[in-house]
């Protein structure tokens, strides 16, 4: 909603009359001191809305080699009547969707069926194991044990791994967790569990509170291949799963809808 002449003016001046470069230096300094706080883990009350989305900022951890999220002010209300930022990010940044086209599937973000983005939420809790083993994975045994306690995984469910990994956000570098060879380590789904969910259960998608549907050190990417190759979508870097019930909530995935997208940041809510 900004006329071209307003944007041209902003190359030289900000809303205070100072140079734009000075404004951006101040904005960058403010971002540099921001610290990601651990998410809330108290169980959500029935009838509430739980946000499963991390705040997206320049400090958001990204997969090794990916650039960080950047927001650059390009218009100010005081100058032209409307404020606006230019955003720069790779699709798979922050809490985001993996469309099937990301690996072995054909559906892009604009082709994800709307009915698949609202689903029963199933939370598989492996935080005890992940607390001592950064390469822990959701196994078929974890899924069958969950079903012994809560009943069969509902048809058209969204199945999420809760590893407690978000608590590492308070320590720089701990979330990506690179080893001495530059390889990341973090929990995810095993290929066998992913295959079970797409072939033996009728799920619409799967999610994790880490950077990858797979265990981060797994270079076969079996979970990605099983989920996305079967036409299901994934959501990575979910927040606050510790506050969600293991069963009974409904997840709403506000997926992006840009043409040809392999994924994109999303707002994810749990209706408890």
- Active site residues per annotation: 102
DSSP string, the chain: ---HHHHHHTTT--TTSS-HHHHHHHHHHHHHT--PPPPP-SPPPTT-EEE-BPPP-TTS---TTPPPPEEEEEE-HHHHS--EEEEE--SS-SSEEE-GGGTT----GGGS-GGGGEEEEEEEE-HHHHTT-TT-EE-HHHHHHHHHHH-SPPTTEEEEEE--GGGGGGSTTTTT-B-TTS-B---EE-HHHHHHHHHTS-EEEEEESSS-SB-TT-TT-HHHHHHHHTT-EEEESB--GGGS-SSSEEEEEE----TT-SEEE-EEEEE-
Residue 127, both tokens: 């935080």
């Amino acid at each position: 909603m900004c006329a071209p002449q307003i944007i041209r003016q902003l190359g030289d001046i900000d809303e205070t009359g100072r140079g734009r470069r000075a404004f951006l230096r101040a904005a960058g300094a403010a971002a540099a001191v921001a610290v990601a706080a651990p998410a809330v883990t108290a169980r959500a009350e029935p009838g509430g809305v739980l946000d499963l989305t991390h705040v997206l900022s320049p400090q958001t951890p990204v997969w090794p080699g990916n650039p960080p999220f950047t927001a650059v002010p390009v218009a100010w209300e005081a100058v032209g009547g409307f404020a606006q930022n230019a955003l720069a990010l790779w699709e798979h940044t922050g809490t985001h969707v993996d469309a099937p086209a990301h690996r072995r599937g054909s559906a892009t973000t604009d082709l994800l069926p709307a009915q698949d983005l609202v689903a029963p939420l199933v939370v598989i809790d492996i935080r005890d194991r992940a607390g001592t083993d950064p390469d822990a994975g959701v196994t078929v045994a974890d899924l069958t044990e969950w079903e012994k306690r809560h009943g069969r995984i509902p048809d058209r469910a969204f199945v999420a791994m809760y590893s407690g990994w978000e608590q590492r956000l308070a320590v720089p570098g701990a979330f990506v967790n690179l080893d001495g060879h530059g390889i990341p380590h973090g929990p995810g789904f095993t290929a066998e569990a992913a295959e079970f969910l797409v072939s033996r259960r009728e799920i619409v998608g799967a999610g994790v509170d880490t950077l990858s549907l797979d265990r981060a050190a797994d270079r076969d990417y079996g979970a990605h291949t099983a989920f996305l190759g079967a036409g299901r979508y994934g959501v990575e870097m979910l927040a606050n799963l510790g506050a969600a019930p293991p069963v009974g909530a409904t997840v709403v995935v506000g997926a992006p809808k840009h043409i040809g997208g392999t994924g994109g940041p999303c707002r994810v809510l749990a209706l408890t």
